[in-house]
Structure 1
Amino acid sequence: MPPAEQLLDAAVTTARGSDVRAAERALDGLVVGDGAAVDAALLARLTRSVGRLWPRGWQPVDLERLALRRLTPRGARLLRDAVAAQRRALPAPVPAWFDEQLAATGARWDTDAGWLDRRADGDRITALRDAVDAVVLVEELPPVAVLRPPPGSAGASYAAAPATGSRMLDRVRALLAKAESTGYPAEAEAFTAKAQELMARHSIDAALLDAGAVRAGGPGGVRIGVDAPYAAAKALLIQEVAAANRCESVWSDDLGFATVLGFPADLAAVELLHTSLLVQATAAMLRGRGERRSGSGRRTKGYDESFLNAFALRIGDRLRTASAAAAEERDDDRLLPVLAARSDAVRGHLEQLFPGTTRHRLQVRDEQGWASGTSAADDASLDPRRPAGRLGGGR
């Protein structure tokens, strides 16, 4: 009998190919092999491969998001727990945000012996297949932008997560929750407008405070998941919210996320606003579907996509208007140079991390969907003034 490492290598190699019978024969080799040795080989290879991701820009939540998209629920669980096992081998220092992300995924580890069988739910064959698929996924992932110093690197001890626990952000969350739950457009408008106003003022205060500091930090980044259906329209919403908050966004369609670059207060605003507006847009789209079905037409994919695209562009106009109004209200001669310098810093960070980005052209496939989406964004509007929008996409 070949060693467990050879059996595993054969299973991984054939799983990457298109020969289903060869993959099943290789999996059979793992099934009849020495169970303890196979488990140890799988764990060693998974943890070794996972450990190579951190210096290449990946973070635990990124891996969790992709695993849930591409693996079975058991496969995602196996990979999640393998990350917890790999945590033991991380070189110091390990930043606090890394452990916070790990805890947020629910990853856990007990002991190495019998680790696969404890997660197999009585079906070892399927668990072996899921584990092999997890190895294939991890080993085929490309490098991504390094947004924070990885564990063991210079600066890892000082790489903080974006602020998410301030009283101001708690107030914003409460306002957005009210905007999402109300059935009255005027109320949703008022709640969302107040939330944007609070975040814009907080961002301005942070910018002026940093400008007076001896050593202020530079821009950072976060990744926001973008799921089907209508991923392009959802990525456009992220871009519009990002632009309104002096951030830049790049959509990685193949990996299912958008990377948003900016300063911490602005990144927090983007995450909060995007989540709320996506809820509001989806609810409005569902209402539009009902109206379309009750009329002479019927709902189509083109309608939904046009609806969400129009919503994103119009809401982006209104968010930018609200941000500009907040800046105008602040009577401080330092403000415009400070904000311009921060915008330049964010664009420079974008060019450094994503030198080859391209833009997508929007296509209006359903006139009624476009009109309904624009109207829905008006209902969630922030200000009656409307500066001209811009078409765009991510990468």
Structure 2
Amino acid sequence: MAKGSGSAKAGGSARAGGAEDIDGLLERAVHEAVAARPETLDWVLDGGASLLAASAERWPAVSRALLGYAERAVGRCWTAGWRPADLVRVVRRELGAAHLALAVDLIAAEGRRHPAAALDRRWHEQLRELAVEVWWESDEQYLGAFAERHRQDRFALATTALELLRCWALLPPVNPVGPVPGGSAPRAGAPVAGEPRMLGRIRALLAKAESTEYPEEAEALSEKAQQLMAQHSIDEALLAAGAPAPDAPAALRIGIDSPYEGPKAMLLDAVAAANRCKVVWAKEFGFCTIVGFDADLDAVELLYTSLLVQATAAMSREGGRKHRDGAPRTKAFRQSFLIAYAARIRERLTAATEQATSDAAAGRRLREDGTVERVADAERLLPVLKAREEAVEDAVGRMFPKLVSQRVRVSDGEGWAAGRAAADRAALNGRSGAIGR
């Protein structure tokens, strides 16, 4: 009953018609939605949305108030450690596709406060991948234009907005994985706009590898890209070790979507381990945090994406067939398939990493043109890599002082065998990037 009287009071205030009244009405509607119990949430949302959408004349003021409120709400999420891709991922998991367009727009509205130089490279990449842009002409016209674009009436759109703001307001703080926009300048050595030239070279190789119809050519291109990525990581390690201000581990988050979250997290862990990174899985939020040095984080993100696509395609092909006894293959088969795939990929990437490191320690360096040169300071490599591994371990310990391990279960022998076979066939490359070493 207390929530009902609060809504009535908010409605009476709104009828006065002032801009401050609309701001207060929106704030109270969000507050009541956040505080609502599950059994009364629908009723509270309906009441708040009805008041916000009651008048076409007030709708421009509601539009302006929403974007102003969103700037503060999204900014609080950044301060709490969340990033653009995280907020969109949470909306997709908790609310569904109908809320995604509004989420992206509210992130765009908040982004108007920050110059491009205040954002690190990975933040820019997330904004680009999400297609974040301020497309509306004025804040007062935004909701009307959005409703027309997505064919929603005022009540439905007001409900969507309240559900979205409630979802974000309930998010707890998480460990930050980079600088907060407007909080401070990116630290020395942090990712900046643009990417290393070597990654551009690797992207070109891998794009060619995936476009060719000849497996032998694709394998050769992928192998060359793999060697270049390994050398890039080693070069970065040696360069950073000699810098006046030594580099430090960074972090990024990668989404882990259902189904089969456990095996997917295992695959990510396999890729990360081969690239001298550590993975911490937050199952309740649908993401993993990867801790490592920037060059290695790039490799993890790009290779994992490629291998997951390959694994999913292979699993779909094998899962659509029947068991030897004619029975259809089940979820247990697919789960076991992906676990085996991840385990075999771990073996392959670990072997590749050991070979690349051994070659570099012996003083052999691969140039971009494919020739090999001698490295004068090769004796420094192993101590440098050891120090970086220890730095990553220390960073994980500081960020996540309480960790537990989780086991996954293999319950289908055919799925295990098929998964290992598919991993043996997998190309260690990706559509958009790097490879393991």
TM-score range, shorter chain: 0.7 to 0.9
Residues 33 and 166 in structure 2, CA contact (< 8 A), matched pair in contact too: no
C-alpha displacement of 1:101: 3.7
SS at match of 1:120: helix
Alpha carbons of structure 1 residues 208 and 65: separation in structure 2 relative to 1, 3 Å: same
Residues 67 and 106 in structure 2, CA contact (< 8 A), matched pair in contact too: yes
Give me the whole-angstrom Cα distance separating, in 1, the residues matched to 2:395 and 2:163: 35
1:336 to 351, 376, 382: 382
Residues 200 and 323 in structure 1, CA contact (< 8 A), matched pair in contact too: yes
> Which residue does the alignment assign to 1:393?
none
Give me the whole-angstrom Cα distance separating, in 1, the residues matched to 2:172 and 2:204: 38
Identity rate, percent: 43
2:143 to 101, 116, 131: 116
> Which residue does the alignment assign to 1:48?
72
1:59 to 72, 75, 83: 83
Where do 1:84-95 residues align within 5 Å?
Answer: 84-90=108-114, 94-95=118-119
SS at match of 1:32: coil
C-alpha displacement of 1:136: 0.7
Amino acid at match of 1:257: F
C-alpha displacement of 1:323: 0.6
Give me the whole-angstrom Cα distance separating, in 2, the residues matched to 1:380 and 1:95: 35
Give me the whole-angstrom Cα distance separating, in 2, the residues matched to 1:167 and 1:173: 10
1:224 aligns with 2:254: yes
> Which residue does the alignment assign to 1:388?
none
> Which residue does the alignment assign to 1:352?
398
> Which residue does the alignment assign to 1:308?
338
1:284 aligns with 2:311: no
SS at match of 1:297: coil
C-alpha displacement of 1:293: 6.2
1:105 aligns with 2:130: yes
Q: What whole-Å deviation, never above 9, does each CA across 1:243-298 have from its counterpart, x for those lacking one? A: 00100111122222111111111111111211111122122212212443686231
Residues 180 and 276 in structure 1, CA contact (< 8 A), matched pair in contact too: no
Give me the whole-angstrom Cα distance separating, in 1, the residues matched to 2:413 and 2:214: 25
Amino acid at match of 1:106: A
Tell which deviates more after alignment, 312-321 or 57-66: 57-66
Alpha carbons of structure 1 residues 52 and 120: separation in structure 2 relative to 1, 3 Å: same
Tell which deviates more after alignment, 16-25 or 367-376: 16-25
Residues 192 and 380 in structure 1, CA contact (< 8 A), matched pair in contact too: no
Residues 186 and 379 in structure 1, CA contact (< 8 A), matched pair in contact too: no
C-alpha displacement of 1:304: 0.8
Aligned length: 382
1:17 aligns with 2:17: no
1:27 to 19, 30, 49: 49
Alpha carbons of structure 1 residues 174 and 27: separation in structure 2 relative to 1, 3 Å: same
Residues 255 and 287 in structure 2, CA contact (< 8 A), matched pair in contact too: yes
Amino acid at match of 2:359: E
1:130 aligns with 2:194: no
Give me the whole-angstrom Cα distance separating, in 1, the residues matched to 2:425 and 2:194: 28
Give me the whole-angstrom Cα distance separating, in 1, the residues matched to 2:288 and 2:209: 24
Residues 188 and 379 in structure 1, CA contact (< 8 A), matched pair in contact too: no
Give me the whole-angstrom Cα distance separating, in 2, the residues matched to 1:7 and 1:207: 51
Structure 2 portions without partners, runs of 5+: 1-11, 15-21, 363-377, 429-437
2:199 to 169, 174, 180: 169
Residues 30 and 165 in structure 2, CA contact (< 8 A), matched pair in contact too: no
SS at match of 2:379: coil
SS at match of 1:89: coil
Residues 239 and 248 in structure 1, CA contact (< 8 A), matched pair in contact too: yes
SS at match of 2:236: helix
Give me the whole-angstrom Cα distance separating, in 2, the residues matched to 1:118 and 1:314: 51
C-alpha displacement of 1:197: 2.7
1:6 to 25, 29, 37: 25
Structure 1 portions without partners, runs of 5+: 383-395
C-alpha displacement of 1:206: 1.4
Where do 1:362-373 residues align within 5 Å?
Answer: 362-373=408-419
Amino acid at match of 2:383: P
C-alpha displacement of 1:175: 4.7
Alpha carbons of structure 1 residues 307 and 176: separation in structure 2 relative to 1, 3 Å: farther
Give me the whole-angstrom Cα distance separating, in 1, the residues matched to 2:116 and 2:312: 44
Alpha carbons of structure 1 residues 101 and 158: separation in structure 2 relative to 1, 3 Å: farther
Q: What whole-Å deviation, never above 9, does each CA across 1:90-117 have from its counterpart, x for those lacking one? A: 4997235345543442222242112211
SS at match of 2:53: helix
Residues 265 and 288 in structure 2, CA contact (< 8 A), matched pair in contact too: yes
> Which residue does the alignment assign to 2:275?
245
**In angstroms, what is the RMSD of aligned CA positions?**
2.8
Tell which deviates more after alignment, 14-23 or 138-147: 14-23
Amino acid at match of 2:350: R
Tell which deviates more after alignment, 207-216 or 93-102: 93-102
C-alpha displacement of 1:182: 7.2
SS at match of 1:334: helix
Give me the whole-angstrom Cα distance separating, in 1, the residues matched to 2:213 and 2:320: 15
Tell which deviates more after alignment, 45-54 or 315-324: 45-54
Residues 281 and 311 in structure 1, CA contact (< 8 A), matched pair in contact too: yes
TM-score (norm 2): 0.79
C-alpha displacement of 1:48: 1.0
Where do 1:256-267 residues align within 5 Å?
Answer: 256-267=286-297
Q: What whole-Å deviation, never above 9, does each CA across 1:198-225 have from its counterpart, x for those lacking one? A: 2222211211122222222111111112
Residues 262 and 408 in structure 2, CA contact (< 8 A), matched pair in contact too: no
Q: What whole-Å deviation, never above 9, does each CA across 1:54-83 have from its counterpart, x for those lacking one? A: 222222232233333334445222222222
Give me the whole-angstrom Cα distance separating, in 2, the residues matched to 1:303 and 1:186: 31
Give me the whole-angstrom Cα distance separating, in 2, the residues matched to 1:178 and 1:108: 31
Tell which deviates more after alignment, 286-295 or 29-38: 286-295
Tell which deviates more after alignment, 174-183 or 198-207: 174-183
SS at match of 1:374: helix
Give me the whole-angstrom Cα distance separating, in 2, the residues matched to 1:373 and 1:209: 39
C-alpha displacement of 1:238: 0.7
TM-score (norm 1): 0.86
